[in-house]
Structure 1
Amino acid sequence: MAYVQLHALSCELHLRRAATSDDDDLGGHGHGGFAAGKEEAMPSWRDQLTARALAASLLLSVALGVMAVRLTVTVGIVPSVNLSASLLGFFLLRLWTAAAVGRQPFTRQENAVVQATVASAVAVAVNGGLGSYLLAMNDAVAKLSTEVDGGGVMSTNNPRLGWMISFLFLVSFAGLFVLLPFRKVMIVDYKLTYPTGTATAYLINDLHTPKSDKAAKKQVSALRKYFTLSFLWGLFKWFYSAGVGCGFQNYPIFGLEAYKNRFYFDFSPTFIGAGMVCPRIVSVSALLGGIISWGVMWPLIRKKEGVWYPASLPETSLHGLQAYRVFIPIALVAGDGLCNLLKAVLRAMSKRSSCTIPVSDGAEPESVGDVDERRAELFLKDRIPGTVACAGYVVVAAVSAGLLPLRWYHGIAVYALAPVLAFCDAYATGMTDWSLASAYGKIAVLAVGAWAAGGGGGALAGLAACGVVTSVVATGSDVMQDFRTGYVTSTSPRSMFVGKGIGAAVGCVVAPCVFWLFRFDAVHPVTPYAATMYRDMAALGGGGGGHGLGSSLPKHCPALCAAFFAAAVVMNIARDLLPPRTAARLVPIPTAMAVPFYVGPYFAVDMIIGSAAVLAWEAADKDGAGACAAAVASGLICGDGIWTLPECVLAIAGVKPPMCIKFLSRSVNARVDAFITNQA
């Protein structure tokens, strides 16, 4: 399962329904709390950063970090480790407390800090470009490229161990600071749920639920049952996935012709669970975006091959159809994100303490009791000053100017734009759980490469800019994801932030050392094509001679991007102006529409099934659905997420699935049968 992550916005509606009138503990049964009760004293943020938590975090960071680097440079796909880190951290600290009688009790806040620290360390290996843009700077990869930099120059920079560590420190820590001023807006005001972060919080709260808490037993039972089913389903699917296009994750429910355009059901518990907890307008918007793009636009544009763009281009070329797939969704997300960023800034300037939730299935409850109030109070209590965040980001950006292979004005432009892109991506991740950081990075490769191409060396500048944008944007989204986990588990944002910083520091040392130890810098035989693809992309941008990005895009691509950007702005204005309880609820969400433009509509099919399941459940048993829908969804997400850990271990050990299931048309099946008969 790829390290892509999907934002189901504002599942608070489901969670609030589950909160009983007498439930005023900080965990909140209905909020995925399964808390110990209102008499539980919350430890201070310093007490949450215990020595045992940091020791467990270090051990897991190294172990999972090594695994992530190996997967990055061999397979190219690394799963999210948030759920695995939560479970492994729980077992390690349980063993610790069992051996140390009379010590401080093990709290869910410690568990959340361990998860955030480990996830931060692994994210460095994922976002650090060790198998993509960083490796693409190597001269061995440059020689494999079919393109050269502007003026025939082949600009390279063989990454040295010390340089890689310094580079990763700078871009990773910039990402930690970039969105801190918007912590309240994202988590408290907009109530973005970040499905992976919410599911992680559910798992942690479940693990720490007192057995005497009868009100939470039903939710705990639902979570554990569907967790087990989801985990076993992942194991079952693995047995039949021996090859490209094999397995149940490619079930052509709409027929083989639709399957070619990525309309299929992939039996993903993660996406089904996300559909269960997100407002239905998010699932509908995602499906609508998939129909508009893969059902209408891409087939029509494909017919213009040779007219709008050169024929016979590689599938990944940003001079062909792929350019429309990348830039149009970015325009949609940017339009939506910028509108919400502007509203957040204006709200802060006017000193307003509340805001309109951007997505909702209907009217919010008039009162959500003490659960939300106390949780928000705790989340905002240990405030991280905005001046500290801004100063930290500026200092890191200034230091980067002397280290990165970028001219000073290129560096300023990249670091000035990164916070805007990070806000847009965090908003998208909170709504769909998908991060588009890699797409933003590809734009940076082309844009900065073309800008810096005047005297040669544009490819190297483009790759460095890609590293800054990808890491800052992805890390910013990860921080918000973990803040959501901290919010639901009543963990101090200060302790979460310190844990994220410690994890990033560990990852910035462990990841390059593992990379260097296995000599992947010399182009390992099993290195995926990603590094060469990034090198080709950078060389194409660097060969632009300063003519700009727009001149290298296929015909009508800039115009379509402008049109979809304007459409996103119009949809935001419509949602603000129309009556919120009626017509505004029917306006699609641009960000949710954008993700299937890029990755395909298959995940939207899963989300719609999840939303439909909850709708049917509510019709049959509204109280039961309100109390347990979010727990069932979290169980599905958790089981699927935990399964990725043993799946990665099997991949590293070279253990491959034994069987392959594929769906063929009748004519192709006849040809296969004839071939097998002739071979026999």
Structure 2
Amino acid sequence: MERSREREEEWETASHETAEAFKTDQVFVEDAFRNTQVPSWTNQITLRAVVTSLLLSLVFNFIVCKLNLTTGVIPSLNVAAGLLGFAIVKAWTTTLAKVGFLKQPFTRQENTVIQTCVVASSGIAFSGGTASYLLGMSPLVASQGDGGNTPENVKKLSIGWMMGFLFVVSFVGLFSIVPLRKIMILKYKLTYPSGTATAYLINSFHTPKGAKLAKKQVAYLFKSFVFSFLFAFFQWFYTAIDGCGFASFPTFGLQAFNKKFYFDFSSTYVGVGMICPYMVNVSLLIGAIISWGIMWPMIESKKGIWYSANLSPGSLHGIQGYRVFIAIAMMLGDGLYHVLFMLIKTIQSLIAKNFSKDSSVVTPDVTDQAAQIANYDEHRRTENFLKDQIPNKVAMGGYIVLAVISIIAVPFIFHQLKWYHILVAYAIAPVLAFCNAYGCGLTDWSLASNYGKLAIIIFSSWVGLEHGGIIAGLASCGVMMSIVSTASDLMQDFKTGYLTLSSPRSMFFSQVLGTAMGCFLTPLVFWFFYNAYPIGDPSGTYPAPYGLLYRGIALLGVEGISSLPKNCLNLVIGFFLAGIFINLVQEFLKRYETRLGIYRFIPSPMCMAIPFYLGGYFAIDMCIGSLILFLWEKKNKQRATDFAPAVASGLICGDSLWSVPAAILALLNVNPPICMKFLSASVNAKVDKFLDGS
């Protein structure tokens, strides 16, 4: 499903250890299910699966929306989706079986359908852009910068047009990649680590041993969920106004707190840290130290020289401009490298496979008996994968029809975009969707957000500032991201379906159903937060950093370097090149220094760039999550492997879902009774003196 994706999707990579475990055991999988009948594709999409998917989609939309609106770091929630789907339906079917009303047993195919729906729905919460490119159009975000704040470049948010836009653009990508499913899954045998790991998880749930483990995992998830929810409820009592409560605890002193270095007691990001790879969390901390510990204090010392001392705190011509544009530059450098790298790798792989005479032949290096089982597994999976096909004519016709609808409808929503802009986007999108889906199969990296950022620059500069280029660029980002992201997600699901004997037709319709759920739920959930909190306020609870960052990219597209403050251009170029250079160093070490594996300790430029704007508080939370996981693995590696994802998911779910009753209380004007605030000794003395005097 959705990955570390801002959900930058790279941050949400699946567990490669789990995928490797699947590869080790896969020759025995289908043999274990030899006597289990595979239901027809219509019986795989059941009413209980749809209801469960809708319930979990609502929960996961709240979680992803909150993560989007705070730091934008979203871990892979595939494990939680598969586990919770299994737990809910298994509990229901067990209850019905005890009273004699069970008509259809719970199968791994039905579990796969639930996981696919939830992944697709919560994926819209990311690619839908409510916390990034759509929010970047709003008057609040536009007012934070000095450039581009004109009527043509601002659009007031409305749940109606946001929902309409998502429904118009989100389904096109599903049809763009369907004709290539057999080539990618059967001929090229692409790995799709997330899809493979998810299939391994679901297959294991439906064996007796796996069901027992899943029951224990659910118990761990429930306990951590209750703790996280109650702890968030406890913290709420001390947050009467902004700047109060445990979230403003100066853990390392007031000076460090002013530089955004503190632990804010967020169970969400402790849980996220337990799921994300160690180097993701370390990269975030390194980025925070470089920016808020070194660079910003140095630049602020030039106040009145490099930039005016009379600017508002949020002005992009002041210190905020350095934070935003340098972060953008590093992200674009990292993104451009990976796009070019993936294109080259895709071309090389295609050439190698086409020239290889035996690319489709599998010769297991195992005993004859094991080889027969492996051949049985592969034969059964291939037979099932080819059984319920989606005709290519239907796929291509669907793409054309939906593209035409989008070409007509989108200009009515965004008059800054003309029909020919959308036509160009849909003409090149299938190629980018193929590259993204193929690269994702090789590396598990989805680069949808990077393609979206490139679309912002291209279309915003094409339209121009005076004709609403900022809105045009941000809207085109949504068009491009929707196609590229859903295409790779669908191919991941095809791989999961292939390995769980789920029908390709049920996978496709599950993805369609989940996408429809996401298009409906995502704007509703966002609107709930938008009305309850000051979304997009850099100093508020929900700063929504990517709203300003994406708008900054569009501003670069329409205004060029003239929008940058003094000496910012040199820093932007330097960090753009640094983003490319760090990746080149990592790739060089990966190729030529394999004995010590030093490349594993090279930080990620994309992750380093996020704290440039936000600070290091959430990086400290995530590093504490990594520390908990590390100590747990030292004590008992197997238990940590089995239960850490469940504990982390519970921490994320509990803390995130507390935001629902908290938002309801805010809408009802029910405020917390206490403000817990921390002052220096000198300030406290002045306050005491003032109170005594009054």
Choose the corresponding residue for 1:296, options 294, 297, 309: 294
Choose the corresponding residue for 2:46, options 25, 44, 50: 50
Structure 2 residue 334 is matched with structure 1 residue 323: no
**Equivalence map 1:175-254=2 (5 Å):** 175-176=173-174, 192-193=193-194, 213=209, 217=212, 221=216, 224-225=219-220, 227-241=222-236, 242=239, 243-248=241-246, 252-254=250-252
Cα separation, partners in 2 of 1:199 and 1:68, compared to 1, 3 Å: same
Cα separation, partners in 2 of 1:16 and 1:667, compared to 1, 3 Å: farther
Distance, in Å, in 2 between the alignment partners of 1:76 and 1:274 is 11
Q: State the SS of the aligned residue for 2:171.
A: helix
Match of 1:556 in 2: 570
Deviation for aligned residue 1:67: 7.3
Distance, in Å, in 2 between the alignment partners of 1:350 and 1:672 is 73
Deviation for aligned residue 1:232: 0.7
Contact 1:267 1:606 in 2 (8 A): yes
Contact 2:289 2:616 in 1 (8 A): yes
Distance, in Å, in 2 between the alignment partners of 1:107 and 1:155 is 51
Deviation for aligned residue 1:268: 5.1
Cα separation, partners in 2 of 1:563 and 1:512, compared to 1, 3 Å: closer
Match of 1:382 in 2: 385
**Equivalence map 1:75-154=2 (5 Å):** 83=80, 87=84, 91=88, 94-95=91-92, 98=95, 101-118=101-118, 120-121=120-121, 124=124, 127-128=127-128, 154=152
Deviation for aligned residue 1:639: 0.6
Cα separation, partners in 2 of 1:573 and 1:510, compared to 1, 3 Å: closer
Match of 2:361 in 1: none
TM-score by length of 2: 0.69
**Equivalence map 1:383-422=2 (5 Å):** 396-397=402-403, 399-405=405-411, 406-408=417-419, 410-411=421-422, 414=425, 416=428
Contact 1:161 1:513 in 2 (8 A): yes
Greater Cα offset, 4-13 or 499-508: 4-13
Distance, in Å, in 1 between the alignment partners of 2:243 and 2:661 is 19
Q: State the SS of the aligned residue for 1:580.
A: coil
Distance, in Å, in 2 between the alignment partners of 1:277 and 1:66 is 18
Q: State the SS of the aligned residue for 1:498.
A: helix
Cα separation, partners in 2 of 1:503 and 1:617, compared to 1, 3 Å: closer
Structure 2 residue 588 is matched with structure 1 residue 574: yes
Deviations 1:201-245 (A, max 9, x none): 96x789x566x53x8756753663365135413421332142545
Structure 1 runs not aligned, ≥5 long: 28-35, 355-365
TM-score by length of 1: 0.70
Matching residue's letter, 1:171 = V
Distance, in Å, in 2 between the alignment partners of 1:599 and 1:156 is 24
Deviation for aligned residue 1:650: 0.5
Match of 1:12 in 2: 16
Deviations 1:68-122 (A, max 9, x none): 9999999999999974796478536854785582411023432342343245346
Cα separation, partners in 2 of 1:573 and 1:270, compared to 1, 3 Å: same
Greater Cα offset, 418-427 or 315-324: 418-427
Deviation for aligned residue 1:52: 3.6
Q: State the SS of the aligned residue for 2:665.
A: coil
Distance, in Å, in 1 between the alignment partners of 2:647 and 2:107 is 24
Distance, in Å, in 1 between the alignment partners of 2:490 and 2:692 is 57
Matching residue's letter, 2:574 = L
Cα separation, partners in 2 of 1:42 and 1:456, compared to 1, 3 Å: same
Distance, in Å, in 2 between the alignment partners of 1:131 and 1:22 is 40
Match of 1:347 in 2: 349
Distance, in Å, in 2 between the alignment partners of 1:92 and 1:170 is 32
**Equivalence map 1:516-555=2 (5 Å):** 528-529=535-536, 548-553=559-564, 554-555=568-569
Cα separation, partners in 2 of 1:452 and 1:642, compared to 1, 3 Å: same
Deviations 1:223-276 (A, max 9, x none): 633651354134213321425455555655544434444443445556555655
Deviation for aligned residue 1:350: 1.5
CA RMSD of aligned residues (A): 5.9
Distance, in Å, in 1 between the alignment partners of 2:133 and 2:315 is 15
Deviation for aligned residue 1:347: 1.0
Deviation for aligned residue 1:634: 1.0
Give the number of equivalent residue pairs.
638
Distance, in Å, in 2 between the alignment partners of 1:636 and 1:257 is 33
Q: State the SS of the aligned residue for 1:347.
A: helix
Greater Cα offset, 65-74 or 638-647: 65-74
Cα separation, partners in 2 of 1:329 and 1:246, compared to 1, 3 Å: farther
Contact 1:12 1:191 in 2 (8 A): no
Match of 1:257 in 2: 255
